[in-house]
Amino acid sequence: MLGLLRQKIGSGTSSAMILGQSRQLIRPAVSALRNYSSAVKEMTVRDALNSALDEEMSADPKVFLMGEEVGEYQGAYKITKGLLDKYGPDRVLDTPITEAGFTGIGVGAAYYGLRPVVEFMTFNFSMQAIDHIINSAAKSNYMSAGQISVPIVFRGPNGAAAGVGAQHSQCYASWYASCPGLKVLAPYSSEDARGLMKAAIRDPDPVVFLENELLYGESFPVSAEALDSSFCLPIGKAKIEREGKDVTITAFSKMVGYALKAAEILAKEGISAEVINLRSIRPLDRATINTSVRKTNRLVTVEEGLPQHGVGAEICTSVIEESFGYLDAPVERIAGADVPMPYAANLERLAVPQIDDIVRAAKRACYRAVPLAATA
């Protein structure tokens, strides 16, 4: 297939024709308080992602989608609803259940100038394709001395859902964020989803786009600016969702909502929490985090993933290296329990961070609660 793509591109054949002629080689045999400016309407995260994909496909014929059930079934979570009817099977490709196969094809297509958006039904299945993501997509630009760009997006739901057990509940933020050559994004709101998806598709490098299944149906206010087809958010820039002066809380994806609700509870008790929505895990907006900590003098990091070698651990290290002298209390780190995700609902709830966990951590940081060591 790659030879065909190279031959066709070299002869000046259009991207649309390349996709059409290579299609048979790809297709399977069986076919809380938030700071928003000038909010004009409500939009679900699902619709935000769908509209971003639609607009980028309309603007650039090199963009195409591939993955399990993205076409005829309209997407396992309906993110790609209507796109097969609009753009046809040449650009919305249903694949077999073989992540290693279709991810490799997507990376090869990106080598030759196309812009694939590869969907994993869940990022847990990306483990089947991790060699292509890490060794082929992430490293090729460096190993080719900048001669090969790999403009590809790997997207899908990440982290815990509900009642799907240990093998389908993992958070891959720290996994992929540890790899040079990848950019890793984790949207929270509908504006995040639209702006970051557009940025990911337009970026010349491979982007891992970590969504959350439980956020797909949640609605958020969307500004007039974000509804414009030219809207795009910068990669590597966090957003201060709520300003505060007593403690900084960092979070990403679904945990941003939890942090905002915790901040509301804390405000009733006289604690002013600043909530930072990371948006980008790699590159990490260290400047925004450290500026906030130098103002509040306290830090609580929140993530769903496992604690060891996590995103929170990296943030803590950054603050200790750059802002240690500003800290008035030990850093608090909230993460998932260091165990495989339990299947039982009561144990599952204990294994992932809850709003009360964030509230207690912020109080400890502000010396408004008995330290954990004193209760041991």
Q: Looking at the annotation, which residues are catalytic?
A: 99, 168
Q: What is the Rg, in whole angstroms, of the alpha carbon atoms belonging to the chain?
A: 21
Bridge partners (DSSP) of residue 44 are: 219
Task: Determine the Cα–Cα distance for residues 14 and 47; give it in Å rounded to an integer.
Answer: 30
Chain centre distance of CA 304: 13
Locate the DSSP E strands across the chain.
39-44, 63-67, 92-94, 115-119, 153-157, 183-185, 207-211, 219-223, 239-242, 247-251, 273-277, 280-282, 299-302, 332-334
Nearest to 274 by CA among 239, 238, 249: 249
140-174 exposure pattern, b = at least 16 Cβ within 10 A, e = fewer: bbeeeeeeebbbbbbbbbbbbbeeeeeebbbbbbb
Q: SS3 string of 350-363?
A: HHCCCHHHHHHHHH
DSSP secondary structure letter of residue 85: H
Helix and strand counts by DSSP (H, E) for the chain? 16, 14
Write the CA distances from 372 to 21, 247, 298, 325, 359, integer angstroms: 63, 18, 17, 23, 14
Task: Determine the Cα–Cα distance for residues 200 and 152; give it in Å rounded to an integer.
Answer: 8
Task: Determine the Cα–Cα distance for residues 376 and 374; give it in Å rounded to an integer.
Answer: 6
* Contact present, 210 and 186 (Cβ < 8 Å): yes
